[in-house]
Amino acid sequence: MNPERLNAATRVALAAYLHDLGKFAERARIAEAEEKDAAGVSRAEREKQLNCPSFKGRSTHVHAAYTAIGFDLLEAHLPELVGDVMTPFAPWGERNADDSIINAAARHHRPDTFLQWIVASADRLASGFEREAFASYNAAADDDGRKLNHYTQRQWTLLEQIRLDGRAEPAVPDYRYPLAPLSPSALFPVPAADCETAGNAGAQAEYRALWQGFTAAIPQIPASHRGNLPLWLDHFDSLWQTYTHAIPSATTGGIRPEVSLYDHSRTAAALAVALWRYHADRNDDPATTRESLRAQWDHQRAAGELAHDAWESEKFLLIQGDFHGIQDFIFATGGETQKRAAKLLRGRSFQVSLLAELAALRVLEALDLPPTSQVVNAAGKFLIVAPNTPASAHALAAVQAEFDAWFLRHTHGRVGIGLARLPARADDFRSGTAGAASPFQTLVRRLFEQLEAVKLRRFGLCAEAPPPALFEDFLDAFHPGRGECRVDGRSPATVELSPGVWASALAADQIDIGHCLATQDRVLITREPLDHQTLRLDIFGYRIRFTRGEAETGRFGREARSGNLRRCWDFSLPEGFTDPLWNGYARRCINAYVPRFDDANAWDAELYRGLEHPGASVPHPDEPKTLNHLARDDRRLHEDGKTWVGQEALMTLKGDVDNLGTLFERGLERPTFAKWAALSRQVNAFFAVYLPWLCAHGEEDGIRRYRNTYTVFAGGDDFFLIGPWHSTLALAGRMRSEFARFVAGNPDIHFSAGLSMTKPGLPIRHLARLAETALEAAKVHQEPGPDGEAGAAKNAVAVFGQTVSWDRFDALRRSEARLARMARDVGLSTGYLYGLLQLTDMAAGIGDKPHNALWHAWFAYRTRRLVESRIRGGEDREAVERRRRALAAELATEIAREGIERFGAAYKIALFTYLYQQRD
């Protein structure tokens, strides 16, 4: 790593990242902008003259003036913006110097210098502008006469607009994101009428409250971290996301307000750094490059050689990382796996995310890029924008070799991280014009294809010069008295977990991570070891330590100033539904929700009688539950007050978003880089932010119904959960309804899921395999259409050996509730209900065996016998018979017609759900 070059790149990133700071400040109508000098001229008017373009005698895009004002207001809490060493900006003490960071940011609509044109070009490419479209946008007023202006307009949701069935995107969607800090609540769009008004005063007040929250939160970044530019920017990125994720980045000039200020800022910063570094690393003449960039956006010079070079040269390098073999990694099994199942599950899941984050960090540092150059990182995949130079290609090859060596040494090739790279031109980032092919869509498709190719070339085994014998000393690594790792069953054992029980260092670290996640909420990433380092193994040269709270984390200011502390990540789970997701440090949503005991001695409650305590020497109220405890959490005390009823079992829930690749490749008519990044961030947030909150705090009928569910992994577009069987079944339905709300009711975006019910002692790998089999059944399901032919595909759930659409699943859950009420009121016997299981098979198999149509007769016969046993004869035989017929008719309607006839064999879902709740 070259610290000087990295710091220079970070300064360019900061200028581009905050180029639209003024949109936030201006919409908040900050009072400082109206302060006047001795001549009676306000700060806003002075800055307009310096930074804003003019059109027909008026200043446009006045937010640029507020960007300069905003920088001044935040300066006390930002890294040094002026001084002797401000490379690549001029080392002047004057804040108004032409090549200052502030001017590079503020003059993006009126650029003049090389660095100002770098920021301006990145701003336009992030938005996917055509040359003509930008010219129109640059001439537009902030208030272009619409009913809703830049104060009152709220951000549209991209998820509502995605179309896969050929329908046109809506001209104006129905939903908006409320103007609020990022929280579990703020992820969900609301009807436009609920958050958009025509009144400027009220809308400005909302922005002002948001601005005040933002400015009050900046000082929470440790002051000692400001001298470490990449570390500080990583913290600031999380802060900026928290307060700008729902601010529209553009509301005028015909631009749809569908990309947040955060997503635009981040993609613009990534492009700016790559563009600057491309020219700086090649030692290109700044004046010539400036003219090339100017020509790129100039109508009169559009056909010139300079403009052609700016559009067509492959200056950018897209780097996509992919963690392959995640399931093998998480569910590797050995003799000790079951005994430590809970810790291993959460430790391995976290380690997957940690490895992906550290791999991205390693790429960034190898290329001397700031954190904002990493545009996406979710579920084991990341995307970085770099300069397309020979030095970048050489560094990436070295990093890939480093990754391969680490994974071959510690996982013996079971898992790894592959790096795909794709050169790109400025022209590739254009969104395209209506009715024409989108260059950015083509770029995305090529990127996916490149990643698929890399997956087939793992570890370079098929290269012209493959690596030497991989495990030539493998057998020699086994110590005679230790043998193989008792956790993964194959690695040489080096760490003693308990007397006589040995494991590999990687497995021991996974168990330690599982323990730390129950007690800590921050992780420190350093190059040199710290005292009491948490993990035994370094990861790609980084040392890992877990900490908790400000008091302990704040002790490492010296490490931050020295540069040894590379990152400090807050991974705490969200608490309140509306609480901002900001705790003063960079946030990574990579933690799993872990069910815990609430009260003292809860593990000794009658419900858990006979189970061992969770494994701590002294159990305490915050102790994580084991899977054995979870299996009993859906049991309930019988009316007699003595016995517990309900099946003792776990339910494994696995699922992912349907057709995700298609959503990203062609879901939007005119995608842009910022939109693409926004979609990835938003989909990930549902599973990585909202789902853990739902498990921890979500209520159903006033009860925290899902609090005993482990989120083994949840992020990107998929999830894997383990919990008590019945509440997990309910959670699946709740997730589906919440996801529909999350995507604003868009029928083209949905997920499929598989559920598997098992005893708690089954090996974890077997649980995963059963859930995967169920998910595969859901993925190939096609719901019958009205004419009996195959209808919609996927968008389904598989459970109890049956696969149904989510709508039918919800209907079956309602049917089970009615069945339960009827069983309670009428006294339906267990034998009667079990007999219905056979009838559902007969009803579903009439086409194969005509005699199965006799199920109606069998149902009538069994029902008649039941009602006769429930309604005994009396003196008034006619009255008794009427009651019997009425009850038989009620059962026929609810069970035969609305149950078996309607659902066929799938009615077993309702029957099993009810019957398993009655077992003792």
Mean pLDDT of the region 664-683 = 88
Q: pLDDT at position 471, please? A: 65
Q: Do residues 69 and 43 lie in contact, with contact meaning Cβ atoms separated by under 8 Å? A: yes
Q: Do residues 656 and 648 lie in contact, with contact meaning Cβ atoms separated by under 8 Å? A: no
Mean pLDDT of the region 738-742 = 97
Residues 6+ apart with CB under 8 A from 704: 696, 697, 698
Q: Do residues 233 and 270 lie in contact, with contact meaning Cβ atoms separated by under 8 Å? A: no
C-alpha distance from residue 333 to each of 110, 327, 486, 721 (Å): 61, 11, 8, 18
150-164, 479-493, 831-845: range with lowest mean pLDDT: 479-493
Q: pLDDT at position 616, please? A: 47
Q: What percent of the chain is predicted at pLDDT more than 70?
A: 92
Phi, then psi, of 652 in degrees rounded to 5: -100, 130
**Winning range, highest mean pLDDT, from 160-164, 447-451, 903-907:** 903-907
Which residues, in sequence order, are bridge partners of residue 384? 319, 374
Closest CA to 46 of 37, 55, 57: 37
The DSSP output letter for 163 is: -
Report the alpha-carbon distance of residue 750 to residue 739 in Å, rounded.
7
Please give the torsion angle defined by the CA atoms of residues 817, 822, 823 and 825, in that order, rounded to the nearest 10 degrees.
130
Phi-psi region of 688 (alpha: psi -120 to 50; beta: other; left: phi over 0): alpha
Residue reference for tokens 């059944």? 777
| Confidence category of residue 136, pLDDT binned at 50, 70, 90 | low
| Confidence category of residue 216, pLDDT binned at 50, 70, 90 | very high
| Confidence category of residue 611, pLDDT binned at 50, 70, 90 | confident
Closest CA to 35 of 60, 67, 61, 69: 69
The runs of H, that is alpha helices, within 456-519 are 505-516
Instruction: For residue 228, count CB atoms less than 10 angstroms from its CB and return exposed for 0-12, middle for 13-18, buried for 19 or more.
Output: buried
Tell me the per-residue pLDDT of 503-516, one tens digit each, with 9 for 90 and over. Answer: 999 999 998 998 88
Q: pLDDT at position 741, please? A: 97
Tell me the per-residue pLDDT of 534-548, one tens digit each, with 9 for 90 and over. Answer: 899 999 999 999 998
Closest CA to 273 of 19, 14, 9: 9
CB count in 10 Å sphere of residue 814: 12
Residue 789 confidence (pLDDT) above 70: no
DSSP letters spanning 243-300: HHTTSBS--STT--S-SBHHHHHHHHHHHHHHHHHHHHHTT--HHHHHHHHHHHT-GG
Q: Do residues 265 and 370 lie in contact, with contact meaning Cβ atoms separated by under 8 Å? A: no
Closest CA to 504 of 322, 324, 329: 329
**Winning range, highest mean pLDDT, from 180-189, 346-355, 761-770:** 180-189
Q: Do residues 81 and 232 lie in contact, with contact meaning Cβ atoms separated by under 8 Å? A: no
Residue 224 confidence (pLDDT) above 70: yes
Radius of gyration of the chain measured on its C-alpha atoms: 31
CB count in 10 Å sphere of residue 632: 22
Report the alpha-carbon distance of residue 387 to residue 367 in Å, rounded.
9
Report the alpha-carbon distance of residue 90 to residue 502 in Å, rounded.
59
Q: Name the percent of the chain in helix, strand, coil, to the closest 5.
A: 50, 15, 35
Task: Identify the helix (H) or strand (E) that includes residue 179.
Answer: none
| Confidence category of residue 253, pLDDT binned at 50, 70, 90 | low
Q: Do residues 159 and 739 lie in contact, with contact meaning Cβ atoms separated by under 8 Å? A: no
Which residues, in sequence order, are bridge partners of residue 101? none
Q: Do residues 812 and 912 lie in contact, with contact meaning Cβ atoms separated by under 8 Å? A: no
Q: What is the largest CA-CA distance in the chain?
A: 109
Mean pLDDT of the region 672-691 = 93
The runs of H, that is alpha helices, within 555-707 are 557-562, 627-630, 660-666, 673-685, 691-697
More confident residue, 593 or 615: 593
Q: Do residues 582 and 239 lie in contact, with contact meaning Cβ atoms separated by under 8 Å? A: yes
More confident residue, 596 or 270: 270
Report the alpha-carbon distance of residue 720 to residue 580 in Å, rounded.
26
Instruction: For residue 834, count CB atoms less than 10 angstroms from its CB and return exposed for 0-12, middle for 13-18, buried for 19 or more.
Output: exposed
Query: ∠ at Cα 401 (397, 405), nearest 5°?
Result: 170
Q: pLDDT at position 788, please? A: 59
Q: pLDDT at position 132, please? A: 46
Closest CA to 560 of 522, 536, 534, 524: 524
User: Which tokens go with 594?
Assistant: 């872990």
Instruction: Collapse the DSSP code of 543 into the 3-class scheme (helix H, G, I; strand E, B; otherwise coil) and give the result.
Output: strand
| Confidence category of residue 133, pLDDT binned at 50, 70, 90 | low
| Confidence category of residue 707, pLDDT binned at 50, 70, 90 | very high
Query: ∠ at Cα 828 (822, 829), nearest 5°?
Result: 160
Instruction: Collapse the DSSP code of 740 into the 3-class scheme (helix H, G, I; strand E, B; otherwise coil) and give the result.
Output: helix
Tell me the per-residue pLDDT of 59-118, one tens digit each, with 9 for 90 and over. Answer: 888 999 999 999 999 999 999 887 778 899 987 665 555 688 999 999 999 999 999 999
Q: Is the peptide bond prior to 181 cis by the omega test (within 30 degrees of 0)?
A: no
What is the reported pTM?
0.93
C-alpha distance from residue 645 to each of 633, 642, 834, 919 (Å): 11, 10, 17, 5
Residue reference for tokens 């004869």? 873
Q: Do residues 255 and 147 lie in contact, with contact meaning Cβ atoms separated by under 8 Å? A: no
Closest CA to 553 of 527, 507, 584, 510: 584
Could you tell me how many residues make up the chain? 920
State how far Cα 596 lies from the chain centre.
Answer: 24
